Amino acid sequence: MYVESKKGKTHRLWRFHGGLHLPDNKRQSSQKPLRQAQMPERLILPLQQHIGEPAQPLVKTGDRVLKGQIIADSDAPISAPIHAPTSGKVSEISDQPIPHPSGLSAPCILIEPDGRDEWGELPEPISDYRSVTPEILRTRIREAGIVGMGGATFPSAVKLNPGRPINTLIINGAECEPYITCDDRLMQDFPERILNGARILLHLLGAEACLIGIEDNKPAAISALENRLKDDDPIEVVSIPTRYPSGGEKQLIRILTGREVPSSGFPAQLGMVCHNVATAAAIADTVLEGRPLISRLVTLTGKGIAEPGNMEVPLGIPAADLIRQAGGYTGKASQLIVGGPMMGFDLTTDQAPISKGTNCLLAPSRAESPIPAPARACIRCGRCADVCPVNLLPQQMYWYSRAKDLDKVQDYNLFDCIECGCCSHVCPSQIPLVQYYRYAKTESWTKEQERRDAEHAKQRHEFRIARLARLEAERKARLRKKKEGLKKKTTAGKAGGSDSKKAAIEAAMQRAAAKKAQQQSQPHNTQNLTPAQQAQIDATEKRRAKQVEPTSPTPADQE
């Protein structure tokens, strides 16, 4: 199949396996002009709005922050900083509900806007981006906190450093999931930003060509971009058939180039890099204006929302505030979904904020999103395999996931599953297939992590045993040395030290003799007595003798 992609130029299209034609339900939100969201009373900024390491707060409770100021960052290679979306005061840093399928809370920075919306110091715009090195541009993109805005939230700067030559840049404007129209709105309203982003990325990657893939159910977006294309741009805007999930990275590459990204591989292996249109626009903003990623376009839609449409919202605005600004709930809302009906997940509370990867808030009515019927037994019809866009065998994966046989399910390339939901959608037994795969994936990751932890603990244990053995050996060696030293000393004493010993004894004896002699030479108090003293002594002796005589003889005397 060929389509016109540029004035006088045709582009060949390929098709991917499987996929579905779904009722797109885009008109609810696509017909309204873009609205600006009002600043809420507080913004909730999760520290992790990206894949990788969470950012660490750089501000404290009570600090005043300015719009665009970095409030959290991390040194980890895969992470992204977070900026204040407006000026105000940091009111709290605490755990808050976040948009995550678990419904768990996670650390967030809470900002109370002061209403002045005062910009902080921004980096200098790089208007002549062609004159700077890719490294400078990558640093700028990292510092702006830009992540994949199609929903994957992978830090863009990392993706732009593929480490191998890139010849084709793919800009993803397919937006294949039903209900969501924020990329459509962005392409219609800001085609220049997207094209500028594409031009910057072309320079950054040194790529020769850029293909912007857009599903043909968005003719206004296609013509908006085509009208802004310059003749010397190596950019083509390609209209692709509407078929879910053409917006998947690997599927879009297949459609546009006919090449297949290898299993568990990356597009860079084929010399390609793929970015979402919103990411391209954010990159243009930061390079040409210095503006970090602090807002995004969000679709509010579904029969449960009074005034569906698209809004430009500050990051961190609670979903409840946003829905209030869109006229509130209609009373028909049966659930609140982040993302679309196929790949989105339920929010357990509408207090959760909009983060960098939130492209849509969908509040469907019961009619739009009926309660799934209880699953029945698999009848092995094989329709899941027919629609799988990755050519997997969903049925086999289902059996093994159900049996919790994680090794076997990985043999069937579980990790190539993009969780698009086509298989569950067509399953006549209403088996929640994707839930089984998600279960098997997280379970496998946990097992792998446990295995790594065990290996680590084993190493530490072995090191400890080796350390104890070494210390013991050292102690023994020390003891042996000491013993040997002592032995040497005593044997040495016996051999040559007898003379000195004798001399010492002799000296001591001499000292004792001298002392005795001195004592003898001293006068005693019984010598040199006066006649009076002598007479007194004699009298005392006589008295003593008299006292002894009359008594009976002592046992000592009898002997």
Which residues contact another protein (rule: CB under 8 A)? 48, 98, 100-102, 104, 106, 374-377, 402, 404, 431-432, 435-436, 438-439, 441-443, 446, 449-450, 453-458, 460-461, 463-464, 467
In the complex, what is the shortest distance from the CB of residue 70 to another protein, in angstroms, rounded to a whole number?
22
CB proximity list for 145: less than 8 A, separation 6 or greater: 70, 80, 81, 82, 83, 292, 293, 356
Rounded CA gap, 148 and 192, in Å? 19
Identify whether the C-beta of residue 86 lies closer than 8 Å to the C-beta of residue 314: yes
Report which secondary-structure segment, H or E, holds 531. helix 531-548
In the complex, what is the shortest distance from the CB of residue 415 to another protein, in angstroms, rounded to a whole number?
14
In the complex, what is the shortest distance from the CB of residue 346 to another protein, in angstroms, rounded to a whole number?
13
The candidate with the shortest Cα–Cα distance to 332, out of 31, 23, 28, 104, is 28
**Nearer residue to another protein within complex by CB, 377 or 532:** 377
End-to-end CA distance of the chain: 147
CB proximity list for 556: less than 8 A, separation 6 or greater: none
**Nearer residue to another protein within complex by CB, 415 or 463:** 463
In the complex, what is the shortest distance from the CB of residue 454 to another protein, in angstroms, rounded to a whole number?
4
In the complex, what is the shortest distance from the CB of residue 460 to another protein, in angstroms, rounded to a whole number?
4
**Nearer residue to another protein within complex by CB, 104 or 504:** 104
In the complex, what is the shortest distance from the CB of residue 441 to another protein, in angstroms, rounded to a whole number?
7
In the complex, what is the shortest distance from the CB of residue 459 to another protein, in angstroms, rounded to a whole number?
9
**Nearer residue to another protein within complex by CB, 461 or 501:** 461
In the complex, what is the shortest distance from the CB of residue 95 to another protein, in angstroms, rounded to a whole number?
9
Q: How deeply is 318 buried, as exposed, middle or buried, from its count of CB atoms within 10 A (0-12, 13-18, 19+)?
A: buried
**Nearer residue to another protein within complex by CB, 27 or 451:** 451
- Distance of alpha carbon 147 from the chain centroid: 13
Identify whether the C-beta of residue 422 lies closer than 8 Å to the C-beta of residue 245: yes
**Nearer residue to another protein within complex by CB, 458 or 478:** 458
CB proximity list for 491: less than 8 A, separation 6 or greater: none
In the complex, what is the shortest distance from the CB of residue 134 to another protein, in angstroms, rounded to a whole number?
32
**Nearer residue to another protein within complex by CB, 260 or 443:** 443
Rounded CA gap, 211 and 250, in Å? 14
**Nearer residue to another protein within complex by CB, 222 or 427:** 427
In the complex, what is the shortest distance from the CB of residue 84 to another protein, in angstroms, rounded to a whole number?
23
**Nearer residue to another protein within complex by CB, 88 or 151:** 151
- Distance of alpha carbon 362 from the chain centroid: 27
Rounded CA gap, 237 and 100, in Å? 34
DSSP string of 109-151, one letter each residue: EEEEE-S---B---PPP-S-GGGS-HHHHHHHHHHTT-B-TTT
**Nearer residue to another protein within complex by CB, 460 or 476:** 460
The candidate with the shortest Cα–Cα distance to 218, out of 172, 179, 181, is 181
**Nearer residue to another protein within complex by CB, 74 or 181:** 74
In the complex, what is the shortest distance from the CB of residue 351 to another protein, in angstroms, rounded to a whole number?
16
Rounded CA gap, 319 and 305, in Å? 12
Q: Positive or negative, the Cα torsion across 150, 153, 154, 157?
A: positive
**Nearer residue to another protein within complex by CB, 284 or 431:** 431
CB proximity list for 52: less than 8 A, separation 6 or greater: 74, 76, 77, 78, 79, 80, 154, 155
- Amino acid type, 190: F
**Nearer residue to another protein within complex by CB, 34 or 375:** 375
Angle at 248 between CA 243 and CA 250, to 5 degrees: 110
In the complex, what is the shortest distance from the CB of residue 402 to another protein, in angstroms, rounded to a whole number?
8
- Distance of alpha carbon 55 from the chain centroid: 8
| Cβ atoms within 10 Å, residue 15 | 15
In the complex, what is the shortest distance from the CB of residue 62 to another protein, in angstroms, rounded to a whole number?
26
Structure tokens of 120? 């902080």
Report which secondary-structure segment, H or E, holds 106. strand 105-113
